[in-house]
């Protein structure tokens, strides 16, 4: 096992979690700004607790799955998940899909929350909105943590990567009190898509008994290859779409 | 029942964004698995990755043209 083994999964988990937590933070901030900080914080904490329960529950059970089955199932799902992110990021880079705009998402959520009449006592509507945002965005983080942590004893570094992203986004949210619109989400999604597709390909190849030369070196080659493919896909799509 | 269906469709949406792309990936994996015993060892990994990269490029190009 080289330094790459815990480092690349941890970096992938960190970057993917950063993107998802920034999106969740936007909604939590909208709840805080329109309905008060109590339901926003309680909802966010409730959602985080629910995600932790999922990680602990499923993380423990994955340890009992045979290695080859794990490589096939986790590798296959990781490949589909990574290719989805990669495809979307390429399409956003070409303009075929709109870029995710945190400022607009914040305004939309704030408007919807203002229209929703408040009730006396604890604001359940605000709390559920914040909890939903954290769970829905966080479920992708849970999958990435479980998938990347399930092989090669990488659970601790992967959880560490995701937790670091959580703390960083939460600290920034407390400090700036507005959506983190300047985070280069699409570039991060593209990088994560490349890394997850590379891991998925490596593992599903192992499930099919592919002998990867120098395992970790093959992983780097796969990362480079998917990076080139993403660049090529973006260039071809731009050419096909014609001048805008 | 509708809540369960909603949860399942959300779970599916984690992995499937575009059905033709997903079907192409799964078909390539099945074809690769079937051909694997006859492939030269050194070529198998690069072939698997090249097929997936071609699917990515074709899928992005097709969606951009729509």
**pLDDT, tens digit (0-9, with 9 covering 90-100), for A198-225:** 999 999 999 999 999 887 789 999 999 9
CA–CA separation, A147 vs A73, rounded Å?
9
How many residues make up chain B in this entry? 66
Asked whether the predicted pLDDT for residue A14 surpasses 60, the reply is yes
Write down the pLDDT at residue A244: 52
Write down the pLDDT at residue B53: 97
* Residues of A in Cβ contact (< 8 Å) with B28: none
**Residue scoring higher pLDDT (B28 or B64):** B28
Residue listed under structure tokens 């993917």:
A16
Write down the pLDDT at residue A124: 83
CA of residue A202 relative to chain centroid, distance:
20
For residue A243, name the pLDDT band (cuts at 50, 70, 90): low
Say whether A15 sits in a helix, a strand or coil.
Answer: helix
Write down the pLDDT at residue A73: 92
Measure the CA dihedral A220/A224/A229/A234, to 10°: 130
Domains of chain B by residue range: 17-65
For residue B52, name the pLDDT band (cuts at 50, 70, 90): very high
For the record, the structure tokens of A231 come out as 């660049």
CA–CA separation, A188 vs A186, rounded Å?
5
ipTM, interface predicted TM-score of the complex:
0.93
Answer whether A197's CB lies under 8 Å from A237's CB. no
| Closest alpha carbon within chain A to B31 | A208
**Residue scoring higher pLDDT (A60 or A168):** A168
B28-34, long-range: CB < 8 A, 24+ apart: B28/B52, B28/B55, B29/A76, B29/A204, B32/A208, B33/A208
Q: Any residues with CB less than 8 A from the CB of A12 and at least 6 apart, and which?
A: A144, A148, A161, A192, A195, A196, A199
* Residues of A in Cβ contact (< 8 Å) with B34: none
CA–CA separation, A40 vs A36, rounded Å?
7
Question: What's the rounded mean pLDDT across residues A118-132?
Answer: 80
User: In chain B, pLDDT over 90 holds for what percent of residues?
Assistant: 61
User: In chain A, pLDDT over 90 holds for what percent of residues?
Assistant: 48
Question: What's the rounded mean pLDDT across residues B5-27?
Answer: 89
| Closest alpha carbon within chain B to A223 | B49
* Residues of A in Cβ contact (< 8 Å) with B45: 205, 210-213, 218
For residue A121, name the pLDDT band (cuts at 50, 70, 90): low
Asked whether the predicted pLDDT for residue A1 surpasses 60, the reply is no
Say whether A95 sits in a helix, a strand or coil.
Answer: coil
Inter-CA distances, A68 with A113, A205, A211, A219, Å: 48, 10, 14, 18
A220 shares contact with chain B (CB less than 8 Å): no
Judged by average pLDDT, the poorest of A18-27, A181-190, A223-232, B56-65 is: A181-190
For the record, the structure tokens of B38 come out as 């006859």
CB atoms inside a 10 Å sphere around CB A181: 15
Of B49, B59, B16, nearest to A201 (Cα)?
B49
CA–CA separation, A84 vs B17, rounded Å?
6
Helix axes A185-207, A67-94, angle to 10 degrees: 150
Q: Any residues with CB less than 8 A from the CB of B40 and at least 6 apart, and which?
A: none
**pLDDT, tens digit (0-9, with 9 covering 90-100), for A99-108:** 777 778 888 8
* Residues of A in Cβ contact (< 8 Å) with B24: none
**pLDDT, tens digit (0-9, with 9 covering 90-100), for A67-102:** 889 899 999 999 999 999 999 999 999 888 887 777
Exposure of A163 by Cβ count < 10 A (0-12 exposed, 13-18 middle, 19+ buried)? middle
Of A31, A45, A80, nearest to A179 (Cα)?
A31
Q: Model's pTM, two decimal places?
A: 0.87
Write down the pLDDT at residue A242: 67
The B residues from 44 to 63 touching A (CB cutoff 8 Å) are 44-45, 48-49, 52-53, 55-57, 59-61, 63
**Residue scoring higher pLDDT (A114 or A197):** A197
Asked whether the predicted pLDDT for residue A237 surpasses 90, the reply is no
Answer whether A226's CB lies under 8 Å from A111's CB. no
CA–CA separation, A223 vs A234, rounded Å?
17
CA–CA separation, A21 vs A188, rounded Å?
13
């Amino acid at each position: 096992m080289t330094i790459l083994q815990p480092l690349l999964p941890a970096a992938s988990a960190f970057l993917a979690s950063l993107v998802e937590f920034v999106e969740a933070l936007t909604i939590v901030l909208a709840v805080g700004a329109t309905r008060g900080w109590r339901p926003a914080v309680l909802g966010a904490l409730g959602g985080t607790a629910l995600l932790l329960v999922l990680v602990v529950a499923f993380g423990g059970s994955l340890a009992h799955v045979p290695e080859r089955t794990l490589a096939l199932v986790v590798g296959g799902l990781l490949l589909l998940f990574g290719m989805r992110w990669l495809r979307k990021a390429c399409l956003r880079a070409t303009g075929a899909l709109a870029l995710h705009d945190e400022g607009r998402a914040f305004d939309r959520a704030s408007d919807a929350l203002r229209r929703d009449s408040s009730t006396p006592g604890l604001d359940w509507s605000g709390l559920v909105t914040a909890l939903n945002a954290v769970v829905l965005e966080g479920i992708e983080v849970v999958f990435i943590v479980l998938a990347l942590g399930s092989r090669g004893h990488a659970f601790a570094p992967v959880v560490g990567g995701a937790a670091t992203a959580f703390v960083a986004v939460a600290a920034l949210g407390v400090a700036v009190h507005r959506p983190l619109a300047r985070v280069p989400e699409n570039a991060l999604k593209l990088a994560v898509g490349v890394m997850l597709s590379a891991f998925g390909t490596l593992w599903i190849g192992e499930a099919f008994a592919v002998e990867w030369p120098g395992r970790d070196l093959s992983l780097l080659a796969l990362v480079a290859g998917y990076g080139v493919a993403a660049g090529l896909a973006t260039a071809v799509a731009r050419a096909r779409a014609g001048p805008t | 029942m509708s809540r369960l269906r909603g949860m399942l469709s959300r779970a599916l949406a984690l992995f499937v964004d575009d059905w033709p792309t997903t079907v192409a990936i799964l078909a390539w994996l099945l074809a690769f698995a079937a051909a694997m015993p006859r492939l030269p060892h050194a070529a198998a990994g690069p072939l698997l990755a090249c097929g997936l990269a071609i699917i990515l490029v074709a899928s992005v190009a097709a969606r951009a043209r729509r």
